[in-house]
């Protein structure tokens, strides 16, 4: 089997795929934020909330791995795309077999012309002029064979550069992701047993390991183009510069190791931020944590150096509640005298305000779910009551259909979430699922602008009133507890 | 008389060599015609699957120019050799004719005596 490449078609396919992957990555990342916000909310307590938090947190691993897989796939696409542009720009189709034939054909012609050149010099013909013409024809045919050879080299180089781009760790990750998704979707309702299946989480440890491995590759690949990146996780800190990974020791001098400085200098960035001077200033006088805290980093995340000497942070929990900020790195703001958060006074105030607003939105979104959940539970209860006299199975199934119908009216995301929440059991699962679905699929902002309780005011208006009155979380918790009570004693015979 | 007959025989030998050379030149002409057909079809085939840019289409274009120059040069070189051969044939024909007539005249004069 020989190699056949269709550069134009592949590039077009990659271009189309890129849009879908970007949308998938962004959606997964945004859902992950919602999941993390919800599952880490310490103010929402009680059995109902805890059960839904646990289930939602388990989806977080899937979403995180999905984001990483999408990112790595896009990098692989980019590698294939740039190799195609570099080797075969403007070609509709490149076939190894055809170029092999052309090469062999040209070599045969060249040899034939050489033979005829010797013949032309033979006594019978005796023409030096004719022999020279044959030699020139042979030279042309050798040039043609060389061109074919170079095309074949391009084909093989392209294959070397792109073979396995989607395999190895990425393929392992996607296969593990598929297992996780299958486990989630198979934890559905068992009609015969009359209960919801438990969620198999055996894949989650493996998924986290594989996702971390691929995430490492994503960072390495990203820094082949970007000047540099530092990633701090619970397991330690690493710098990624020009596609190389540097472990960072626990001290400031380790954080700014000479090897890292040399690597940064190679990118041209070292000179602009004068890391050598910084290192001298910090050496032995501060720990890596001090340095990170000085630039506002409190928890794991990544930050990257940009070509204009700035650091862009992402994924960190910043000091003073700041979510994201950009600043120039210099001895002034990353020195031994820097106080946590002191460097970013103005930005921090703004970021903290944004963080608070984001917390409000999350709380409001979750509260709004009660209206949807209450609607579903009410539909379940009333349909169950109306079904008095009917066969018990029929009665339950009608009531479930009514609850799901009510959720569907609230949005497709609620229905999806309802299915995802089935494992929790009975109508409780449906309602908790609704929370998942609504947080996942529609976003809290949509609900903030909705009038879900029909009082003519938006949810945001309702939330603001409750929140600022100081009863926001108390109301939510009380509501959850009461709601959970009502659900577990609902007339389903499946009390938890 | 004998010298004249020898001269005629020598010219006839030269005419034979001229014909043989013409056949070889025609063979060479056919070689270059076939080569020209091959290189045109080879270059045409390559055009669609050669990348744009100096290392691809640019190189193919240079090869095409080289091939056209080669074709013109081959036609001129072999054409000139064929022309030379033709001139040689005419010259040999003329000389043979002259010698033959002179030989006939000499035979008639001898008969008259």
pLDDT value, residue A279: 54
Q: How far are the Cα atoms of B25, B83, B93, B95 from residue B90, in angstroms, in the given order?
A: 17, 11, 5, 9
Please check whether residue A4 is in contact with residue A94, taking contact to mean a CB–CB distance below 8 angstroms. yes
Write the DSSP assignment of A35-89 as a string of letters: HHHHHT-SS--SHHHHHHHHHHHHHHHHHHHHHHHHHHHHHHHHHHHHHHHHHHT
Which stretches does DSSP call E strand in A275-395?
301-305, 310-314, 326-328
Q: How far are the Cα atoms of A300, A352, A353 from residue A348, in angstroms, in the given order?
A: 18, 6, 8
Strands A4-5 and A94-95: antiparallel
The Cα A275–Cα A269 span in angstroms is 9
From B78's Cα to the closest Cα of chain A, the distance in A is 7
Q: How far are the Cα atoms of A230, A231, A273 from residue A303, in angstroms, in the given order?
A: 5, 6, 15
Q: Which residue of A has its CA nearest to B74?
A: A133
- Rounded to a whole number, what is the largest CA-CA distance in chain B? 88
pLDDT value, residue A201: 78
ipTM of the complex: 0.88
pLDDT value, residue A323: 33
If one counts every other C-beta atom within 10 angstroms of the C-beta of residue A47, the result is 14
pLDDT value, residue B82: 93
- Inter-chain residue contact A90 with B45, CB threshold 8 Å: no
The Cα A329–Cα A310 span in angstroms is 6
Whether A5 and chain B come into contact, CB under 8 Å, resolves to: no
- At residue A309, φ and ψ (nearest 5 deg) are 80, 20
Whether B42 and chain A come into contact, CB under 8 Å, resolves to: yes
A312 has which bridge partners?
A304, A326
pTM confidence score: 0.59
A232 has which bridge partners?
A237, A301
Whether B82 and chain A come into contact, CB under 8 Å, resolves to: no
Whether B36 and chain A come into contact, CB under 8 Å, resolves to: no
pLDDT tens for chain A, residues 1 to 496:
789 999 989 998 898 888 888 888 888 877 777 777 777 777 767 766 676 677 677 777 888 888 888 889 899 999 899 999 999 988 889 999 999 999 999 999 999 999 999 999 987 778 888 999 999 999 999 999 999 999 999 999 999 999 888 888 888 888 888 888 778 777 654 556 655 457 777 888 888 889 888 988 888 888 777 666 766 665 666 777 777 777 765 555 455 555 666 666 666 555 444 555 555 555 555 555 555 554 445 555 565 666 655 555 555 444 443 333 334 443 333 332 222 222 222 233 233 333 333 333 333 333 334 444 444 555 565 676 677 777 766 766 676 666 555 554 444 444 444 333 433 333 444 444 444 444 433 333 444 455 544 555 554 454 444 333 333 333 334 434 433 333 333 333 222 2
Please check whether residue A244 is in contact with residue A253, taking contact to mean a CB–CB distance below 8 angstroms. no
pLDDT value, residue A320: 42
pLDDT value, residue A415: 40
Find the CB nearest B59 among A113, A134, A147.
Answer: A147
* Chain B residues lying within 8 Å of A133, measured CB to CB: 28, 32, 70, 73-74, 77-78
The Cα A172–Cα A168 span in angstroms is 6
If one counts every other C-beta atom within 10 angstroms of the C-beta of residue A372, the result is 25
A244 has which bridge partners?
A241
From A129's Cα to the closest Cα of chain B, the distance in A is 7
The Cα A414–Cα A420 span in angstroms is 10
Residue of A87, A140, A157 to mutate for B, most B C-beta atoms under 10 A? A140
From A166's Cα to the closest Cα of chain B, the distance in A is 25
- The residue ranges of chain B whose pLDDT is under 70 are 1
Please check whether residue A288 is in contact with residue A248, taking contact to mean a CB–CB distance below 8 angstroms. yes
Q: How far are the Cα atoms of A2, A189, A203, A400, A482 from residue A421, in angstroms, in the given order?
A: 50, 10, 19, 13, 19
A318 has which bridge partners?
A297
The upper half-sphere exposure of residue A148, i.e. CA atoms within 13 Å in the direction of its Cβ, equals 23
The Cα A476–Cα A112 span in angstroms is 90
- Helical spans, DSSP H, in A438-471: 444-448, 459-468
Tokens of residue A236, six digits:
């330690």
pLDDT value, residue A242: 75
From A122's Cα to the closest Cα of chain B, the distance in A is 11
Helix, strand, coil % over all residues of chain B, rounded to 5: 95, 0, 5
Tokens of residue A366, six digits:
């979750």
pLDDT value, residue A138: 95
Domain ranges of chain A: 4-169, 225-340, 352-488
Residue of B21, B45, B50 to mutate for A, most A C-beta atoms under 10 A? B50
User: Which residues contact residue A240 at a Cβ distance below 8 angstroms, ignoring those fewer than 6 apart?
Assistant: A219, A220, A222, A223, A228, A229, A230, A231, A246
- Inter-chain residue contact B73 with A125, CB threshold 8 Å: no
Helix A47-88 with A472-488: angle, nearest 10 deg:
100
pLDDT value, residue B19: 93
- Inter-chain residue contact B81 with A136, CB threshold 8 Å: no
- Inter-chain residue contact A91 with B48, CB threshold 8 Å: yes
User: Which residues contact residue A293 at a Cβ distance below 8 angstroms, ignoring those fewer than 6 apart?
Assistant: A319, A340
Please check whether residue A390 is in contact with residue A403, taking contact to mean a CB–CB distance below 8 angstroms. no
A233 has which bridge partners?
A236
The Cα A325–Cα A492 span in angstroms is 51
pLDDT value, residue A5: 92
The upper half-sphere exposure of residue A129, i.e. CA atoms within 13 Å in the direction of its Cβ, equals 14
Tokens of residue A64, six digits:
């995180």
pLDDT value, residue A236: 62
* Chain B residues lying within 8 Å of A143, measured CB to CB: 63, 66
């Amino acid at each position: 089997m020989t190699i056949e490449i269709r550069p134009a078609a592949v590039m077009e396919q990659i271009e189309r795929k890129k849009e879908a992957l970007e949308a998938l990555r962004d959606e997964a990342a945004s859902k992950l934020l919602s999941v993390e916000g919800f599952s880490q909310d310490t103010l929402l307590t009680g059995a109902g909330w805890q059960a839904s938090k646990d289930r939602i947190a388990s989806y977080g691993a899937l979403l995180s791995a999905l984001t990483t897989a999408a990112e790595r796939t896009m990098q692989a696409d980019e590698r294939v795309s740039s190799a195609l542009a570099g080797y075969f720009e403007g070609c509709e189709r490149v076939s190894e077999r055809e170029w092999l034939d052309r090469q062999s054909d040209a070599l045969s012609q060249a040899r034939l012309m050489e033979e005829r050149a010797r013949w032309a010099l033979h006594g019978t013909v005796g023409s030096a002029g004719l022999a020279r013409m044959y030699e020139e024809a042979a030279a042309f045919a050798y040039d043609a064979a060389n061109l074919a050879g170079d095309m074949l080299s391009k084909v093989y180089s392209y294959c070397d550069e792109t073979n396995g781009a989607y395999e190895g760790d990425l393929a392992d990750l996607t296969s593990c992701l598929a297992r996780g998704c299958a486990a989630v979707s198979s934890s559905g309702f068992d009609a015969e047993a009359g209960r919801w299946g438990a969620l198999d989480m055996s894949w989650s440890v493996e998924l986290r390991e594989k996702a971390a491995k691929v995430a490492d590759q994503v960072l390495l690949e990203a820094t082949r183009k970007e000047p540099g990146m530092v990633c701090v996780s619970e397991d330690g800190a690493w710098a990624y510069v020009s596609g190389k990974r540097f472990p960072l020791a626990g001290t400031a001098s380790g954080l700014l190791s000479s090897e890292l400085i040399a690597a940064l200098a190679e990118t041209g960035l070292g000179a602009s931020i004068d890391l050598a001077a910084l290192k001298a200033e910090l050496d032995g006088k501060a720990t890596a944590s001090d340095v990170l805290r000085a630039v506002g980093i409190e928890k794991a995340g990544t930050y990257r150096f940009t070509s204009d000497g700035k650091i862009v942070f992402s994924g960190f929990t910043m000091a003073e509640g700041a979510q994201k900020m950009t600043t120039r790195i210099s001895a002034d703001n990353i020195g031994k005298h820097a106080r946590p958060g002191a460097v970013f006074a103005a930005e921090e105030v703004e970021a903290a305000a944004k963080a608070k607003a984001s917390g409000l939105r999350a709380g409001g979104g979750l509260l709004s779910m009660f209206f949807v959940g209450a609607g579903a539970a009410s539909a379940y209860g009333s349909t169950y009551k109306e079904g008095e006299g009917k066969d018990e199975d029929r009665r339950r199934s009608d009531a479930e259909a009514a609850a799901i119908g009510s959720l569907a009216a609230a949005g497709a995301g609620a229905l999806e979430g309802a299915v995802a929440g089935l494992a929790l059991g009975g109508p409780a699962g449906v309602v908790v699922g609704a929370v998942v679905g609504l947080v996942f699929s529609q976003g809290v902002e949509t609900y903030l602008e909705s009038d879900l309780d029909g009082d003519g005011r938006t949810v945001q208006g309702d939330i603001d009133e409750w929140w600022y009155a100081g009863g926001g979380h108390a109301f939510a918790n009380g509501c959850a507890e009461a709601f959970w009570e009502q659900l577990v004693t609902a007339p389903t015979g499946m009390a938890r | 008389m004998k010298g004249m007959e020898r001269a005629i025989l020598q010219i006839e030998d030269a005419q034979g060599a001229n014909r043989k050379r013409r056949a070889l030149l025609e063979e060479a002409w056919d070689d270059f015609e076939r080569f020209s057909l091959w290189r045109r079809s080879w270059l045409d085939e390559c055009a669609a699957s050669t990348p744009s840019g100096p290392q691809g289409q640019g190189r193919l274009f240079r090869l095409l120019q080289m091939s056209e120059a080669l074709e013109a040069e081959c036609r001129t070189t072999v054409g000139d050799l064929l022309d030379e051969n033709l001139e040689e044939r005419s010259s040999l024909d003329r000389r043979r004719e002259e010698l033959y007539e002179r030989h006939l005249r000499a035979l008639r004069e001898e008969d008259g005596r």
